[in-house]
């Protein structure tokens, strides 16, 4: 067998992404109103070079607007009967390095907590708002207790969050069959298994229970690992991780599923308070009966 050349990530990595969502209905749907969050965000380190959204059957109405969190949302409606709905997104995205961390400057997590609570709402998602509970993530005593060994008195914020990331990765098993989109943080803590959404929710619940700001980030992860490194979990599907805030570092992205910080392999699609704020496709239908959902995702390096 011919040995593969090592996969190298250049200074600016370019990826082609396809994300196809298909709903197959048991009976005809008379009308459908949908929201699609399938446009990657423009960020200082991320630029969308090409983007196309194909909807089949073609919508009778369609418009796009920013939501509360700055994600671009496509609103569309179908007013003719259909048994299948396909939404396919294709894009080319260029990703560079995230901002360098100020590792020479230390700040305790208690100081970050105090600063976060003193910040006004608004701005970059409003860090104070991202320290508040959400409908999917109410304040959790169990999550607070789980986080406590990482948040020891006076510990540096970055060190504490890296430790929490390591612990979640070590303590929980990646198991796609163990949870659903409605699984609670308490259930995940009890069964010690789940998927990237569960681990991101757990880390968010841990941080918010101590008054620290963090948001849920959805996106994609490159499937080809560098030479000598294992294949990452959570690939070939939408991925999820956490961005936590400190006044010194800004928003830092932690991936507890794979025990690392986000780098050029991570393509940011959307962010919000929890998974409900970033669902790729969701909506309301009239008719249809039972439905079957299939999702296919591919991320390929270009050039």
Same domain, 238 and 195: yes
**Better-predicted residue by pLDDT, 284 or 181:** 284
Per-residue pLDDT at 125 exceeds 60 = no
75 and 210 co-located in one domain? no
Q: Is residue 104 part of a domain?
A: no
Can you list the pairs that 138-142 forms with residues at least 24 positions away whose Cβ atoms lie under 8 Å?
139/205, 139/208, 139/209, 140/185, 140/186, 140/205, 140/209, 141/209, 142/185, 142/186, 142/189
195 shares a domain with 51: no
CATH code of the domain in which 33 resides: 2.60.40.2250
223 inside domain: yes
Considering the domain architecture, whether residues 153 and 244 belong to the same structural domain is answered as yes
pLDDT of residue 288: 85
**Domains of the chain: total:** 2
Q: At what angle do helices 109-117 and 157-171 cross, to 10 degrees?
A: 100
**pLDDT at res. 148:** 98
**Pair 292, 267 in one domain:** no
HSE toward the beta carbon, residue 102, CA cutoff 13 A: 11
Percent of the chain with pLDDT over 70: 91
- Give the pLDDT confidence of 49-82 residue by residue, as tens digits: 999 999 999 999 999 999 999 999 999 999 999 9
* Judgement on whether residues 225 and 79 belong to the same structural domain of the protein: no
114 shares a domain with 170: yes
Does residue 4 belong to any structural domain of this protein? no
In this structure, the answer to whether residues 273 and 285 fall within a common structural domain is no
For residue 225, pLDDT over 70 is answered with: no
> Do 124 and 271 fall into the same domain?
yes
Please, which residues bridge with residue 284 across strands? Answer: 33
Q: What is the pLDDT of residues 226-270, one digit of tens each?
A: 677 766 665 567 899 999 999 999 999 999 999 999 999 999 999
Assigned domain for 71 exists: yes
Distance CA 180, CA 272 (A): 19
Task: Give CA separation, 289 vs 57, 83, 181, in Å.
Answer: 18, 10, 20
* pLDDT bucket at 206, cuts 50 / 70 / 90: very high
Report the distance separating Cα 209 and Cα 133, nearest Å.
8
What pLDDT was estimated at residue 117? 82
Tell me the residue range of the domain where 257 lies.
Answer: 109-277
């Amino acid at each position: 067998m011919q040995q593969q050349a090592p996969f190298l990530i250049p200074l600016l990595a370019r990826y082609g992404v396809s994300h196809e969502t298909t709903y197959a209905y048991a009976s005809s749907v008379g009308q459908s109103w949908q929201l699609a969050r399938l446009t990657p965000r423009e960020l200082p380190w991320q630029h969308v070079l090409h983007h196309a959204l194909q909807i089949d059957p073609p919508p009778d109405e369609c418009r796009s607007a920013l939501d509360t969190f700055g994600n671009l949302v496509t609103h569309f409606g179908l007013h003719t009967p259909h048994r299948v709905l396909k939404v396919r997104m294709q894009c080319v995205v260029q990703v560079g390095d995230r901002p360098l961390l100020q590792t020479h400057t230390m700040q305790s997590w208690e100081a970050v907590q105090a600063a976060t609570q003193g910040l006004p709402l608004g701005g970059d998602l409003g860090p104070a708002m991202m320290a508040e509970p959400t409908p999917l993530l109410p304040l959790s005593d169990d999550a607070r207790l789980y986080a406590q060994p990482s948040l020891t008195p006076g510990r540096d914020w970055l060190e504490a969050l890296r430790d929490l990331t390591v612990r979640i990765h070590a303590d929980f098993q990646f198991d796609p069959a163990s949870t659903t989109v409605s699984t609670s943080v308490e259930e995940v803590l009890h069964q010690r298994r789940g998927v990237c959404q569960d681990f991101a929710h757990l880390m968010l619940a841990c941080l918010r229970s101590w008054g620290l700001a963090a948001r849920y980030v959805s996106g994609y992860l490159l499937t080809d690992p560098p030479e000598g490194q294992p294949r990452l979990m959570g690939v070939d599907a939408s991925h999820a991780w956490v961005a936590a805030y400190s006044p010194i570092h800004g928003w830092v992205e932690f991936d507890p599923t794979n025990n690392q910080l986000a780098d050029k392999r991570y393509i940011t699609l959307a962010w919000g308070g929890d998974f409900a704020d970033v669902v790729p496709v969701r909506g309301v239908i009239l008719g249809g009966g039972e439905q079957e959902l299939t999702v296919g995702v591919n991320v390929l390096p270009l050039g």
